[in-house]
Amino acid sequence: MADFVSQFRENRTALVGAAVILLLVLVAIFAPQLAPHNPIKASLGDRLSAPSEKYPLGTDHLGRCVLSRLLYGARISLAVGVVVVGVAAAVGVALGIISGFYGGVLDEIIMRLVDAMLAFPSIFLALAIAGTLGPGLGNVMIAIIVVEWTRYARVMRGSILSVKENYYVEAARALGASDFYVVTQHILPNAIAPIIVVATLGMAPVILAATSLSFLGLGVQPPTPEWGMMLNDGRLFMRRAPHLTTFPGVAIMITILAFNLLGDGLRDALDPRARTEKELR
Amino acid sequence: MLNYILKRIILLAPILLLVSLITFSILYIIPGDPAETILTGPGGAADPKAVEEFRVKMGLDRPLHIQYLKWLNNVLHGNFGYSYMTEQPVLDPILPAFRATLKLAVASMILSLLISIPVGIISAIKQYSLIDNLSMTGALLGVSMPNFWQGLLLILLFAVYLGWFPVAGYGENGDFEHLVLPAITLGTSSAAITTRLMRSSMLETIRQDYIQAARAKGLSERVVIGKHALKNALIPVVTVAGLNFGYLLDGSVVVETIFAWPGIGKLMVGSIYMRDYPMIQGCILFVALVYVAVNLVVDILYTFLDPRIRYETKAKAK
Amino acid sequence: MTLLGVRNLRVHFPTEEGLVKAVNTVDLEMKGREKLGLIGETGCGKTVLGMCIMRLLQPNTEVAGEIWYKGRDLLRLSEGEMRKVRGREIAMILQNPATSLNPVLRVGEQIAEAIRLHQGLDKRTAWARAVEELEAVKIASAEERAKEYPHQFSGGMQERAMIAMGLACDPALIIADEPTKGLDVKIKMQVVRLLKEVVREKAMLFITHDLGAAAEICDRIAVMYAGEIVECAETSEIFRNPLHPYTQGFLNSLPNRGLKPIPGVSPSLIDIPSGCRFHQRCDCATEICEEEHSEMVEVKEGHFVRCFLFGEKDA
Ligand SMILES: Nc1ncnc2c1ncn2[C@@H]1O[C@H](COP(=O)(O)OP(=O)(O)O)[C@@H](O)[C@H]1O
Ligand SMILES: [Mg+2]
């Protein structure tokens, strides 16, 4: 009974996370329909106005509607999250497969490279790369991909090593199956669940890193609306227009919270070890 | 023990080599020709003659591997390069900046432990109680709240509205009132992570047999938890202390920028704005070296904390 | 003179799957220096019974009945009073020493802390006494060994350390939970001999699987099945004249008596069978055994059995 309750509770928080994410996706897709104003159109007469009927969340230093900018900003953050996680996962999975499947020198090189990447605090490294490449959303995404692929490589390599010993892999190889066949037919399907969990859990740090770099002025360039940049613009007007310091932060936090909830829920559901630990209690 | 440390250091060598390669290559991802990029001002194209001179002066005209070896040799001799802006050794500003960062990181770490250890313990021994639910909700919010936003909110409340602390700055020498808000920003977000870890580690520990055995001796709950359980439950927390330090370093980038704290994060962001590539390179290399060293120290400390590992390594060393 | 009197004890655990009825209407009586063996299959509730006497079960456990010790009902003591009983009056040697010793504390400290607590000795004297305790359980170079950590001890030494810990404050009653489990034969014999020697002046509830050890040490033996005592008699009587079909089956399952396992499995403690708990596995079961639950009957002086084969069938 208590197990049912606690499971329900966990599922419920994960479901809330999923629902919020769905909502954010809808907001991103339908931003043009939802936004009351043009997000990049300055209206100097309305500068720094507090929330009002016309501007539900107020306006920024150029008189642009904060709500509209937040709605459009969801597009950037989610797109960055999906693209970065997607590419990083693809690169990491590929290198993880090579490393785990072939072993030997390749494995040694890839794993030492992973270790070396992990020897840098990740935001510092991303900042150095993005900063050197120069401002721009693409460069920020490249920088974050460079630091993010390692987690997928490690997880993939780990799953491969554990799947590799299974009899059906041995059997398939004994029957003369090609490496490609063995990997796609036998290894990937078994290793995909942990990758999905890691990818979900990886969304929050990616979005956080991207908004941080934008906050520092490295991401999208004005006038495109982006949450981190909006916070940075707003902080100069903290006293006069505190709403500029509040609302974009709320948007970032809700997004990250939602991905954390969903990721934790998936991990608990898919990680048998975590599950038995719960049962033991 | 000494053998173990030596072995750890030897294993680090290839990683450090790769770290140096990665750091070095950062200079070569500059779009276009570095010399040209750097000398191209807002006004337009650079004077070709100046570019050529700059290239020779900075050694950019030589083959890549020669440049790398020369750079590596310099680094090994404590010369991390010269700033494009000031033409002074980059270490000159890095060292004091790092001192400021360290001050902030240590203050944050202390605050983080002061929060997370007691809250984690109470949450665990009162699992699913109101206080546990509250602190876990708080931890989840803390994990999800970006440092830069939290910093801004603290400034808004405690500096702008209440006026208790300065909005930003370093004071004479990282004075206490300047330290408070950035340390709270960094410390609470680190505490959010550590509290969850402390709680799950404590939950794991208190269902061990030796905890019942301690109770069977008639020890009070205070001793059972504070001595028998805590010593074991802290081990995972110490294990991730290195990671935690990296997390604080990462956080220092935005926090130092917001609070105008003259640490290495702010220095790095500043050098990016100035396109001072050797400074960026110097900062990232220095931070990586510190991070590697901290992780090494944590590993060694950890062997002192957990007798199982300490004696194992001793036995192996024999 | 009765030292420990367990009356009508019931211990139930509320769990997600249902109420686990781990101990049911157990009555036990122990005299001053008596050694009572408690035997039965794994999962029949022996450890729970011991932990219940120590009052170390988790707080949501439902406990009913009485546990009289030296004229006080332990179940009615405050937690503070109970703490003074633990270790000083009644000590429990927990099962599985490998996990019952704290891995990050020195063995000597784990013994000395109880001495400091109950006898108010200072650190150094308590440590010296801890070393003496280790010597008393025949650990060689006890002085050095006391400074070591549990993982540096062999299994036999860990068990001895647990015994030393139990004896440290000279309790009147020891509850030893499977102290010979997992030890190889030679070490097992040493531990049995040691236990016999060190508890000569004390009472001991000796929980075990190992009938040989029980025969060596115990004055009386109680046989437990599915949370209740089904037979209790003097040691020699139990071995010579086992009455309950379960006791007979248990004895026959021993290596030196033919290694014949009892068919079937122990019942779930959540859905306890009606009637006699053993009837599904019993060759002698009749109709009444399926329907009614037998009382404990004294078949002859000091030999109690819970079975319809003995005593009035119309109970
Ligand atoms: N805390 C608990 N919660 C639920 N069931 C328990 C708990 N502790 C013990 N049990 C159950 O009580 C029964 C008796 O266990 P135990 O006394 O350990 O058996 P043994 O006779 O082998 O020592 C077992 O079925 C066990 O699963
Ligand atoms: Mg047991």
> Which among A18, A32, A152 is positioned nearest to A84, based on CA atoms?
A152
Best residue among C16, C21, C47, C48 to mutate for probing ligand 1's pocket (most ligand atoms within 8 Å of CB) is C48
Residue C249 covered by a domain = yes
Domain that holds residue C270: 2-89+203-305
Supply the pLDDT for residue A280.
40
Q: pLDDT-derived band of residue B311, with 50, 70 and 90 as boundaries?
A: low
Burial label for C211, CB within 10 Å (0-12, 13-18, 19+), is buried
Query: Would C8 be classed as within a structural domain?
Result: yes
Residue whose Cα lies nearest atom 3 of ligand 1: it is C13
pLDDT at C94 (0 to 100): 94
B-proximal residues of C, 139-158, CB under 8 Å: 149, 151-152
The pLDDT of residue A107: 93
Please give the distance, rounded to the nearest whole angstrom, from the Cα atom of residue C46 to the centre of ligand 1: 8
Give φ, ψ of C299 to 5 degrees. -75, -45
With residue C237 as reference, give the H or E element that holds it: helix C235-240
C161 to A280, B212, B213, C100, C137: CA distances (angstroms): 28, 16, 12, 10, 7
* pLDDT, chain B, mean: 88
Most distant CA atoms of chain C, gap in Å: 66
CATH homologous superfamily of A10-274 equals MetI-like (1.10.3720.10)
From the CB of C112, is ligand 1 less than 6 Å away?
no
Could you tell me which residues come within 8 angstroms of residue A46 by beta carbon, excluding any fewer than 6 positions away? Answer: A54, A55, A59, A63
Report the pLDDT value the prediction gives residue B313, as an integer from 0 to 100.
52
Q: Decide: B187 and B111 in contact? Cβ < 8 Å.
A: yes
Cβ of C42 below 6 Å from ligand 1: yes
pLDDT for B315 equals 52
Distance, C-alpha A58 to centroid of its chain: 28
Domain contains C286: yes
Q: What ipTM, to 2 d.p.?
A: 0.91
CATH number of residue C281's parent domain? 3.40.50.300
- The least confident of A269-278, B273-282, B292-301 is A269-278
Cβ of C256 less than 6 Å from ligand 1: no
User: Which mutation among C20, C41, C93 tests ligand 1's pocket best, with the greatest number of atoms within 8 A of CB?
Assistant: C20
Interatomic CA distance for residues C97 and C179, integer angstroms? 8
Q: Taking the model in full, what pTM does it have?
A: 0.89
CB-CB contact of C53 with C90 (8 Å): yes
Percentage, residues of chain C above pLDDT 90: 70
Distance from CA of B24 to the nearest CA of A (A): 12
Q: Say if residue A174's pLDDT is above 80.
A: no
Q: What is the pLDDT of residues B119-135, one digit of tens each?
A: 999 999 999 999 999 99
Answer with the residue of higher pLDDT: A29 or B50.
A29
Among all bound ligands, the one having the nearest atom to the CA of C26 is 1
pLDDT tens profile B176-204: 888 999 999 999 999 999 999 999 999 99
As residues whose CB is below 5 A from the ion ligand 2, the structure lists C 47
Cα separation values, B62 from B24, B79, B82, Å: 14, 19, 17
Cis omega (within 30 of 0) for bond into C267: no
Higher pLDDT, A166 or C4: C4
State the nearest Cα–Cα gap between B247 and chain A, in angstroms.
7
Q: Is the CB of C38 under 6 A from ligand 1?
A: no
- The answer to whether C187 and C148 have CB atoms below 8 angstroms apart is no
CA triplet A66, A55, A245: central angle to 5 degrees? 35
Do the domain assignments include residue C122? no
Strand-pair partners of C91? C174
Count of structural domains, chain C: 1
The answer to whether residues A176 and A112 touch, using CB atoms and an 8 Å cutoff, is no
Distance B52 CA to ligand 2 centre (A): 83
Average pLDDT for residues A17-25, to the nearest whole number? 94
Which numbered ligand comes closest to the C-alpha of C40?
Answer: 1
Residue C221 maps to a domain: yes
Structure tokens at C102: 């704290």
Phi, psi of C25 (to 5 degrees): 40, 60
pLDDT of C209-237, one tens digit each? 888 899 999 999 999 999 999 999 999 99
Band (A276; pLDDT cuts 50, 70, 90):
very low
For residue C209, tell me if it sits in a domain.
Answer: yes
C58 touches chain A (CB under 8 A): no
Does ligand 1 lie within 6 Å of residue C15's CB atom?
yes
CA C13 to ligand 1 center in whole angstroms? 9
Between residues 7 and 36 of chain C, which touch chain A (CB distance below 8 Å)? 16
Is A77 in the B-facing interface, judged by CB distances under 8 Å? no
Predicted confidence at residue A49, as pLDDT, reads: 79
* Domain spans of chain A, in order of start: 10-274
pLDDT in tens, B142-161: 999 999 999 999 999 998 88
